[in-house]
């Protein structure tokens, strides 16, 4: 809803007093989240980072809740971009089913890799409270956030007849549970101390084992 204000002004900085305070504050909030996670996102710290009075933030956000929500959205956006990049880098695949499974694996890898590369942003995006009940408003998803991508790909596997409609929820939840749990365990769980090489081996093993189980689910059809 603020997009209209910024569209024509992005190039000419120093519009009004600051120019683009809202976005600057969101950027600062993301920087704070990158170190320190969601707890580090405070109105005062973000304002301090930008070089502005805390009060100024209240012109653009309802308060701490509003700022944190915007930061979360920003983090989800960056994560989505990283995952989408993985998808785009994927080589073409003739078989549509193999292609969909490969893409599913790729976003899983992207999910975990982003969590490992940017734990603070990851935890801000998906660490504690996720926000509203996503699965209930399934139709709202245009595949532009991590969960939307997942839903789209699983929907594709159903459309292709590889999975049964009744498997939908189970597949969605198992997939997300695995990559989310894996990320948490690797970030600051019992595996936090693992060496880089071991880490990626573990991720690889978990992901391929998962897509094998998906394959089996597809074939048995249960």
Partner DNA sequence: TGTACATCAGTGAACGCGCGTTCACTGATGTAC
Residue from 12, 190, 196, 197 that binds a copy of itself (CB under 8 A)? 190
- Residues for the chain: how many in total? 222
CA angle 190, 194, 199 (to 5 degrees): 105
Of the pair 93, 216, the CB lying nearest a copy of itself is at 216
Say which residues have a Cβ less than 8 Å from residue 174's Cβ, sequence separation at least 6: 210, 213
Q: Select the binding partner of residue 130 from a copy of itself, DNA, none (C-beta < 5 to 8 A, by kind).
A: a copy of itself
> How far, in Å, CA of 176 to CA of 190, rounded?
20
- Interface with a copy of itself, residue 188, by CB under 8 A: yes
Minimal distance in Å, beta carbon 28 to DNA? 12
CB 59 within 8 A of CB 80: no
Environment class of 171 (CB within 10 Å of its CB; exposed 0-12, middle 13-18, buried 19+): buried
- 148 binds DNA per the rule CB under 7 A: no
Q: Which does 128 bind (CB under 5 to 8 A by kind): DNA, a copy of itself, none?
A: a copy of itself
157 binds, among a copy of itself, DNA, none (CB under 5 to 8 A by kind): none
Of 109-138, which residues contact DNA (CB under 7 A)? none
Does 65 sit near DNA (CB under 7 A)? Answer: yes
Which of DNA, a copy of itself, none does residue 21 bind to, with CB < 5 to 8 Å depending on kind? DNA
Smallest distance from the beta carbon of 135 to a copy of itself, in angstroms? Answer: 5
46 in Cβ contact with 32 (< 8 Å): yes
Query: Distance between CA 115 and CA 36 in Å, rounded?
Result: 14
Give the residue carrying structure tokens 């405070």.
Answer: 42
Report the alpha-carbon angle 199-205-87, nearest 5.
85
Ramachandran angles phi, psi of 2, nearest 5°: -95, -5
Q: Which does 141 bind (CB under 5 to 8 A by kind): a copy of itself, DNA, none?
A: none
Using CB under 7 A as the criterion, which residues of the chain lie in contact with DNA when the complex forms? 14-19, 21, 42-45, 48, 51-56, 58-60, 63-65
Binding site for a copy of itself (CB under 8 A): 126, 128-136, 147, 169-170, 173-174, 176-182, 184-185, 188-194, 202, 205-206, 209-210, 212-213, 216-217
């Amino acid at each position: 809803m603020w997009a209209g204000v910024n569209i024509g002004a992005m190039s000419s900085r120093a519009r009004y007093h600051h120019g683009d305070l809202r976005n600057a504050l969101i950027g600062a909030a993301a920087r704070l989240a990158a170190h320190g996670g969601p707890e580090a996102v405070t109105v005062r710290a973000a304002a301090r980072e930008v070089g502005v009075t805390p009060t100024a933030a209240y012109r653009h956000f309802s308060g701490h809740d509003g700022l944190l929500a915007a930061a979360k959205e920003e983090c989800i956006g960056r994560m989505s971009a990283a995952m989408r990049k993985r998808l785009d880098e994927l080589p073409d695949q003739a078989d549509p089913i193999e292609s969909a499974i490969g893409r599913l694996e790729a976003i899983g890898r992207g999910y975990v890799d982003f969590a490992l590369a940017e734990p603070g942003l990851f935890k801000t995006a998906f660490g504690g409270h996720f926000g509203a009940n996503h699965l209930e408003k399934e139709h709202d998803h245009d595949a532009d956030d991590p969960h939307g991508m997942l839903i789209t790909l699983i929907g594709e596997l159903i459309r292709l007849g590889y999975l049964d409609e009744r498997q939908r929820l189970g597949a969605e939840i198992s997939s997300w549970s695995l990559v989310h749990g894996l990320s948490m365990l690797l970030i600051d769980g019992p595996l936090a101390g693992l060496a880089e090489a071991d880490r990626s081996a573990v991720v690889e093993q978990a992901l391929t084992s998962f897509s094998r189980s998906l394959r089996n689910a597809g074939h048995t059809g249960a």
